[in-house]
Amino acid sequence: MKKTIITYAIGALYLASIVCAVLLLFSKKTTSPEKILQSRIVPVAGDAIAVINISGPIRMGSRPRAFLSYDSEAILRRLRNTSSRKDVKAIVLRINSPGGSVAAVQEIYSEVMKIRAEKKKPVVASFGDVAASGGYYIASACDKIVANPGTITGSIGVLLELGNVQELFKKIGVRMETIKSGKHKDTGSMFRELSVDERKMFQELVNEAFNQFINDIVRGRGMQREKVEALADGRIYTGSQAVQNGLVDKLGNDQTAIETAKELAGISGEPRIIGEYDVWEQFLQIFNPPKSLSPIDELVSKQKLRFEYMLE
């Protein structure tokens, strides 16, 4: 019994030493832009600017997700937490995303607009390599948008894709039997072609989502609808082109976005930068590596209906 207790005590001390070492590693302060965006410096006092990453495809998280995943719910949670802090006077959204599902993108857009209207805190978008389609949709809710000259943006439009494995199943001798309660219940099935009525129905969905996209850009950016419509044919633009056509406000990097947020918030002196992770979250990420799909799961996922603001 005594031996077991000693063993557990040694194990606990060993684990505690590892935790302390990792916390010390991640708590080192740095002034480089890359480190600023990935670390969280917990200060004593003073006005702060929060930096929140929006990276990769944006989803609602329909499948069981990792503990610290980047789905729309996690992004919304961080937006709400940081905007509620009294010391946070402005927010910078670091966007490096080709877009995502319609509902997920719209939820984040609405939250940014809410922060501007209710919290009276400026929000600035900072574009990375790509901030297209749904990535741009979210940015259009911000007070200002900063992009690198070579950023890929634009791609304003809606994508709805349906997989069809009918011919494949014929070749391997598999036939699906469907029993349904109504004629449209299996609309979008991957086991048959769309009917004329079904194709029309899906086109109406796309048109409606596209109009919502246009309306929200007009609302967020204060642009003329006719100008937005002329740019919204799915084309992509560089950051430089986007400045010229009014989709982006200025060229620059993360520091430019922070300076812009500082100016809009009326912060005097050097603001503190609060990254989205605290030290404990960084430690937990070590034990939470990204999971990859099996080839079969990857194939099946691509055959499902996709309704997205996405750069392809």
Candidate list 83, 97, 101, 133, residue with the active-site label: 133
One-letter amino acid for residue 96 of the chain: N
Instruction: Say what the pTM is.
Output: 0.76
Using one digit for the tens of pLDDT, what is the confidence trace for 72-126?
Answer: 999 999 999 999 999 999 999 999 999 999 999 999 999 999 999 999 999 999 9
Cβ contact 50:91 at 8 Å? yes
Give the whole-angstrom CA distance, residue 127 versus residue 97: 9
Question: Could you give the 3-state DSSP secondary structure of residue 266?
Answer: coil
- Best CA proximity match to 303, nearest among 203, 213, 169, 170: 169
Q: Is 181 in the active site? A: no
| Sign of CA pseudo-dihedral 259, 265, 270, 276 | negative
Return the pLDDT at 299: 46
Give the whole-angstrom CA distance, residue 79 versus residue 198: 38
Give the whole-angstrom CA distance, residue 93 versus residue 72: 14
Candidate list 185, 200, 302, 304, residue with the active-site label: 185
Give the whole-angstrom CA distance, residue 128 versus residue 300: 30
Average pLDDT across each block of 10 residues of the chain; the chain has 312 residues. List them in order.
Answer: 57 60 50 42 71 92 49 91 95 96 95 97 97 97 98 95 84 86 84 89 94 98 97 97 98 97 96 71 50 48 62 68
- Cβ atoms within 10 Å, residue 274: 23
Return the pLDDT at 39: 42
Return the pLDDT at 179: 87
Q: Is 62 in the active site? A: no
DSSP-assigned letters across all residues of 280-312:
HHHHHHTT-PPP---HHHHHHHHHS-EEEEE--
At 95, phi and psi to the nearest 5? -105, 120
- Best CA proximity match to 307, nearest among 190, 188, 215: 188
Give the whole-angstrom CA distance, residue 243 versus residue 241: 5
Q: Token pair of 105, please?
A: 């993108």
